[in-house]
Structure 1
């Protein structure tokens, strides 16, 4: 089984190359560590002067309770994959 973040990142990159991607919807690009797992903090892209929403995840990318939907910089505890 491959590293989950690298697999997610590869799928996003293929979607960006596809000529069918013409919508203006946000694309979440995962933040992976050097081993291919998710970094403890994930964020959506910024829009202009506004920082994207950030949340905390475990190393497999599952959101941690109580950390979602925060704008700015949530404090995420180490997940052991960094």
Structure 2
């Protein structure tokens, strides 16, 4: 719960800075990327611990998913 509260505050702080940012799109992209990637990492970490997947394979899956999320944020 503490991690969620900290992350929520970080997003709120970043959102407050949007009005001061030179690029609204850039500021929003950073917020979205940070939130989505952190969420994916936590989900994948729990899954790998549960199934015993080897770390090299996991790393490839994380990198592929990161690329997908980044592309969707840039398109969005």
TM bin, normalised by shorter chain, reads: 0.3 to 0.5
Larger Rg: 2
Higher helix share: 2
TM-score, normalized by length of structure 1? 0.34
TM-score, normalized by length of structure 2? 0.36
